[in-house]
């Protein structure tokens, strides 16, 4: 057997092993990994799998946080503006400034319309094809266009029609806020004027709990019944509640100039108005007065109580007529807008329950609008909300898991109370109508300068009453939900997600270091090992070459 065949085989086997080791070291150097398979890690494979699983979990949470933070950032920008608009709009809708153009639009209305259009755009904010304020229905545009909202669409009534129907219902058949003066025929019964709520004398009674004025109180400036006495009558309204249905105001022979009667009325929106009339000997009387008629056929003159009662009724009729065109109409509009926009929690917009337009003045209640006859201004997700069940909160319409035990809710519905009040206040201001001819020679509802001036004052008073109420809603001073409240809740959700992401980023860094300790290499040590192995291999190759050339002839030499 040749000498080299005995010596070469073990050496070549060693060289093959060292080459495999070199190739594996070079792979480790290029990949940074100790092993190509988990099995090659040996006992450390369990740690590697555990660390990688946790890193994958953290990556999914961080991805959720990234998406959430992007959406919350867009919500933040929209909500910040929705917080600013109320004060900006209120500054433009000045109750004390009545400027109207030839189209019948006031400066305040122009500002309200611009603000309303912006609000609708903000409530329809979207990101990545998802609407941010539509609750769970992220693919549904939450708010209809301004034109559809105000003017309706096809057979569907918009806010303008709902407001007009409500005002007709609130006025009643006598157009005095569902109040009647005098007897059933309107006459004064001797020395007594009766103020009666419409429907109180029907059989059965049909006093509306919803429409018209409510009689909150009446009093005389004196307790002497020989001057004036006020007597209430009670009854039941359509809601089954016991209410004052009438007042009898009786004038006595002891009536004196300066004696007065105050009538407190509750408007459709719950606000109060007071009509006060004081007796005077002047004829015609001034504002807030009625003429006390004297019987000059007697010496000394005595009070003609029947004629005085008639004068009082006429002046009360005038006062109520003015009230129903000013603060009462503004209150009716606000109540109508409230019932139209208050749809949170699955409610439908409401309108007067009347079979036809002819029945509006005698209707007693409201009904839910339907999908075919009334515009639903909010189209997004609108499930019921239970204050005692946090899972029904709009925030939980859209959630994201940002940690193993933390889910963050950041859902928003455009018809939440704060946004609904913002929209309704601007919308009702926009649909209001004022007469640009009032107070001018083109005023067809007046024949004298005094009448024209009175008509202008009525328009100004109605604008002031409406603008004042709108400003009140925009101030969010009644303790109801404010845009800031929603914004704060969303901001808290964003902060929770950010804190979780910061923790996870830190944990990911630590885990990665631990994983690198299990799977990774030390490049300096590995490089030194490679150099050592290469030196050994070079020596082995040299030895192998020498042995390969060795023969008996060469050995004997």
pLDDT in tens, the chain (557 residues): 454 554 445 666 776 777 766 666 666 566 666 665 555 555 566 666 666 677 777 788 888 888 889 999 999 999 999 999 999 999 999 999 999 999 999 999 999 999 999 999 999 999 888 999 999 999 999 999 999 999 999 999 999 999 999 999 999 999 999 999 976 555 566 899 999 999 998 888 999 999 999 999 999 999 999 999 999 999 999 999 999 999 999 999 999 999 999 999 999 999 999 999 999 999 999 999 999 999 888 878 899 999 999 999 999 999 999 999 999 999 999 999 999 999 999 999 999 999 999 999 999 999 999 999 999 999 999 999 998 999 999 999 999 888 888 889 999 999 999 999 999 999 999 999 999 999 999 998 899 999 999 999 999 999 999 999 999 999 998 888 999 999 999 999 999 888 887 787 777 777 666 655 655 565 666 577 767 767 777 777 777 676 666 666 665 65
Angle in degrees, CA 70, 74, 75, rounded to 5 = 115
Strand arrangement of the beta sheet that strand 179-181 belongs to:
179-181, 192-197, 242-251, 228-236
Q: Look up tokens 């009538």; give the residue.
A: 263
CA distance 549 to 557: 13
Name the architecture of domain 41-132+404-519. Up-down Bundle (1.20)
Residue 422 burial class via C-beta count within 10 angstroms: exposed 0-12, middle 13-18, buried 19 and up: buried
Rg (CA), the chain: 43
- Could you tell me the pTM of the whole model? 0.84
- Cα distance between residue 393 and residue 410, in whole Å: 10
DSSP letters of 480-525? ---HHHHHHHHHHHHHHHHHHHHHHHHHHHHHHHHHHHHHB--HHH
Q: What whole-number distance in Å separates Cα of residue 438 and Cα of residue 296?
A: 41
Q: What is the pLDDT of residue 1?
A: 46
Nearest to 66 by CA among 508, 510, 498: 498
């Amino acid at each position: 057997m040749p000498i080299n065949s005995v010596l070469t085989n073990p050496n070549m086997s060693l060289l093959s092993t060292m080459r495999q080791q070199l190739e594996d070291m070079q792979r480790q150097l290029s990949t940074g990994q100790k092993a190509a398979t988990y099995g090659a890690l040996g006992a450390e494979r369990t740690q590697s799998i555990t660390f990688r699983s946790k890193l994958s979990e953290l990556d999914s949470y961080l991805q959720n946080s990234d998406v959430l933070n992007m959406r919350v950032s867009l919500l933040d920008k929209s909500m910040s503006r929705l917080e600013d608009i109320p004060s900006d709009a209120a500054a433009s809708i000045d109750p004390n400034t009545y400027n109207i153009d030839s189209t019948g639009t006031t400066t305040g209305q122009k500002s309200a319309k611009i603000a309303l259009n912006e609000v609708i755009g903000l409530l329809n904010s979207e990101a990545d094809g998802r609407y941010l304020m539509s609750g769970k229905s992220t693919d549904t545009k939450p708010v209809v266009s301004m034109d559809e909202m105000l003017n309706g669409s096809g057979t569907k009534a918009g806010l303008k029609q709902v407001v007009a129907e409500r005002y007709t219902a609130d006025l009643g058949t006598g157009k005095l806020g569902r109040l009647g003066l005098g007897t059933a025929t309107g006459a004064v019964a001797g020395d007594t004027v009766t103020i009666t709520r419409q429907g109180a004398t029907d059989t059965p009674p049909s006093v509306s709990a919803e429409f018209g004025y409510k009689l909150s109180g009446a009093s005389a400036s004196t307790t002497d019944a020989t001057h004036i006495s006020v007597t209430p009558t009670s009854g039941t309204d359509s809601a089954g509640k016991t209410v004052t249905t009438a007042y009898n105001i009786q004038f006595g022979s002891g009536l004196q100039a300066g004696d007065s009667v105050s009538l407190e009325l509750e408007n459709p929106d719950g606000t109060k108005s007071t009509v006060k009339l004081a007796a005077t000997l002047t004829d015609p009387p001034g504002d807030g007065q009625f003429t006390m008629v004297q019987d000059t056929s007697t010496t000394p003159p005595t009070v003609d109580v029947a004629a005085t009662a008639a004068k009082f009724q006429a002046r009360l009729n005038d006062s109520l007529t003015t009230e129903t065109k000013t603060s009462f109409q503004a209150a009716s509009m606000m109540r109508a807008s409230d019932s139209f926009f208050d749809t949170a929690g699955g409610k439908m917009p409401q309108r007067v329950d009347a079979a036809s337009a002819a029945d509006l003045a005698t209707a007693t209640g409201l009904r839910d609008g339907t999908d075919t006859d009334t515009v639903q201004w909010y189209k997004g997700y609108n499930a019921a909300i239970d204050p005692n069940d946090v899972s029904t909160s709009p925030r939980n319409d859209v959630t994201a898991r940002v940690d193993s035990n933390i889910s963050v809710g950041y859902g928003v519905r455009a018809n939440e109370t704060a946004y609904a009040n913002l929209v309704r206040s601007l919308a009702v201001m926009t649909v209001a109508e004022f007469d640009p001819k009032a107070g001018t020679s083109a005023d067809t509802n007046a024949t004298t300068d005094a009448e024209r001036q009175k008509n202008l004052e009525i328009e100004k008073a109605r604008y002031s009453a409406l603008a004042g109420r709108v400003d009140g809603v925009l101030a969010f001073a009644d303790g109801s939900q404010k845009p800031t409240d929603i914004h704060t809740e969303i901001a808290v959700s964003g902060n929770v997600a950010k804190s979780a992401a910061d923790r996870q980023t830190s944990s990911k860094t630590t885990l990665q270091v631990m994983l690198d300790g299990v799977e990774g290499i030390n490049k300096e040590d590995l490089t030194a090992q490679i150099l050592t192995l290469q030196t050994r291999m070079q020596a082995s190759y040299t030895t192998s070459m020498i042995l390969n050339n060795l023969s008996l002839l060469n050995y004997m030499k």
